[in-house]
Amino acid sequence: MAFEPPRIQDSPKRIRVLFAGTYIIDTTSAKLVWESRYYPTYFFPHAALSLDHVSDVKAENAGGDGDKYDLKVNGRIAPAAVTVYSLPEHKHLQGLLKINFAAADAWFEEDEQIYVHPKDPYKRVDVLSSSRHIRVELNGTELANTRTPKLLFETGLPVRTYIPKTDCRMDLLVPSDNKTACPYKGEANYYHVQLTPEQRIDNIVWWYRNPNLECAAINGLVAFYDEKVDVFVDGVKQERPKSLWS
């Protein structure tokens, strides 16, 4: 579901934010705000954050919307981690503030820790077994060939195909140091594809060593960026989807 930003709605959950050993936020009055259509951010009433934890002076050259302030707790400082909205042009966010998700040590919904960013209550992720015949090629070289893929359907994103490593040319996959994280799936590891000694395409294959419970079925399987490889489904070459990150 796509929203015109900013969409704002109350969250029914107790939200806690941990920084420097202190829960600087502990509230049941958080709001979910879609600043973009991809995922929401938690915003809080000004009263949810003690002034003892916020610098008295605005952070300089912080950029972005709102007034930025340093977060300071127990001698530790997170520069420009707090954004306060109080100006007339921010009327939709009047009386609210947000905390940089990455600046905090941990975020909790009720007693469950969350990662990366809040989950979108309007998004779901389904992993389904399939008997479609999937082949993956790059520059004419076959990288994968399977009849037992798992298809991952994530609201608003292209369908991703996860393939057993035993059905892939693992001799062409080179481990990468790159890692990314997803609040729905967990932490992903990556491979480069080394077609020849001179031709390496970086970070176009990923996999999850320990995916989150709701995506446990993709554990150990690999996925290719369909935007950068040729995919054949039941013998039919698929049109490459437009990359969301290009």
| pLDDT at residue 147, as a whole number | 98
Higher-pLDDT residue of 245 and 91 is 91
**CA distances from residue 210 to 76, 150, 160 in whole angstroms, order as listed:** 32, 16, 18
pLDDT band at 28 (very low <50, low <70, confident <90, very high): very high
Distance CA(102)–CA(124), nearest Å, equals 23
What confidence category does residue 178 fall into, taking pLDDT thresholds of 50, 70 and 90?
very high
**Can you give the pLDDT at residue 63?**
59
Mean pLDDT, range 13-36, rounded to an integer: 96
Banded pLDDT at 4 (limits 50, 70, 90): low
Q: Is the pLDDT assigned to residue 88 strictly greater than 80?
A: no
Q: What is the dihedral of CA 192, 193, 194, 199, to 10 degrees?
A: -100
Question: Closest Cα to residue 65, out of 101, 32, 91?
Answer: 91
Side chain identity at 39, as an amino acid letter?
Y
Span 94-147, pLDDT tens digits = 889 999 999 999 999 999 999 999 999 999 999 999 999 999 999 999 999 999
40 compared with 241, residue with greater pLDDT = 40
Name which residue leads in pLDDT, 83 or 89.
83
What is the per-residue pLDDT across 42-57, written as a single tens digit (0 to 9) for each?
Answer: 999 999 999 999 998 8
Residue 243 tokens read as 């990359």
Query: Which pTM does this prediction carry?
Result: 0.85
Is the pLDDT at 3 greater than 60, yes or no? no
Banded model confidence at residue 38, pLDDT cuts 50, 70, 90: confident
Q: Is the predicted pLDDT of residue 2 greater than 80, yes or no?
A: no
Non-local (6+) Cβ contacts of 170 within 8 A are none
Written as six digits, the tokens of 65 are 């919307």
**pLDDT of res. 1:** 42
Residue 39 has pLDDT above 60, yes or no: yes
Which domains, and CATH codes, for the chain? Answer: 7-114 (2.170.150.40), 125-237 (2.170.150.40)
pLDDT value of position 37: 82
Can you give the pLDDT at residue 244? 55
Nearest C-alpha neighbor of 81 from the set 69, 94, 93, 73: 69
pLDDT exceeds 60 at position 31:
yes
- What is the rounded CA–CA span in Å between residue 178 and residue 203? 7
